[in-house]
Amino acid sequence: MSLQQEIIRQLGVKPQIDVEEEIRRRVDFLKDYIVKAGVNGLLIAISGGLDSAVVAGLCKRATDELTKEQNKEYMTLGVFQPYGEQVDIADSYATAEAFDLKYKVETNIEDSVDEIALETEHALRAIGRSQHMSKEGKGNIKARTRMVVQYALAFELNLLVVGTDHASEAITGFFTKWGDGAVDITPLSSLNKRQVRELGRSLGVPKSILDKTPTAGLWPGQTDEGELGVSYEDNSDYLEGKEIGTDAKERLERAYLRTNHKRNEIPGI
């Protein structure tokens, strides 16, 4: 078995999908987990990008169906988490409107992130390292602070935190791992980016979001493809078992091997 075949097997990506079947399967997956966990619904952080919009659509469909079936209200809470001014915050609200989210909140993380960064710089000086945090380091604080707030809300409301991670991120290690705060459930995990977009079209994600350049918004100008060095077209082709250019293939496989520890359970002895 080639490394490409092993990666595809581990991540569970299909070479082609029936979109409506995949939507139904993932909605049922969410519903079943909500009932088994005994929670009141789902929390999804809506960034304004494609992945969180697709997950929001799946979550809302799942909780709407459960509300009808169980004669009890189940909540999908949409959380918007800008750092200061977010230039595309309108896309987050457009997603909430597209899926008629009754419950939505905005929690600005700027003050918290800046305080954590400042305390980290103080700690570095205490061991003789006088330096400002790197943009990557501060970007990670943003991601982790967002998870802290999500879990604070989820605890108070008895919700599950839903992740947006999918196979095109997992192959490169660019996903919400345990060290980032983790999530409770990931309904997109066996889809590649192209397939996520296909679900988005069917669910009714706004076109402006479907066509956006993917970014985690961790620092100004940051894009997923720029950071990873591989296009999502090549990434998706690879995960569907197709041949891609040698450079892109080697980049993906190096990233997969380098970040394999992130996809494993937390080790113990």
- Residue 223's CATH number: 3.40.50.620
176 domain residue, yes or no: yes
Residue 10 identity: Q
Give me the catalytic one of 51, 91, 224, 234: 51
160 domain residue, yes or no: yes
Burial track 186-223 (b if 16+ CB lie within 10 A, e otherwise): bbbbbbbbbbbbbbbeebebeeebeeeebbbbbeeeee
268 domain residue, yes or no: no
269 domain residue, yes or no: no
Give me the catalytic one of 22, 169, 198, 234: 169
Strand partners, 224: none
pLDDT in tens, the chain (269 residues): 899 999 999 999 999 999 999 999 999 999 999 999 999 999 999 999 999 999 999 999 999 999 999 999 999 999 999 999 988 899 999 999 999 999 999 999 999 999 999 999 999 999 999 999 998 899 889 999 999 999 999 999 999 999 999 999 889 887 766 666 689 999 999 999 999 999 999 999 999 999 876 666 565 666 667 667 789 999 999 999 999 999 999 999 999 999 888 888 778 88
Query: Which residue segment(s) compose the domain that 28 sits in?
Result: 3-261
Clarify whether 51 is annotated catalytic: yes
pLDDT for res 182: 83
- The count of domains in the chain is 1
253 domain residue, yes or no: yes
Clarify whether 85 is annotated catalytic: no
208 domain residue, yes or no: yes
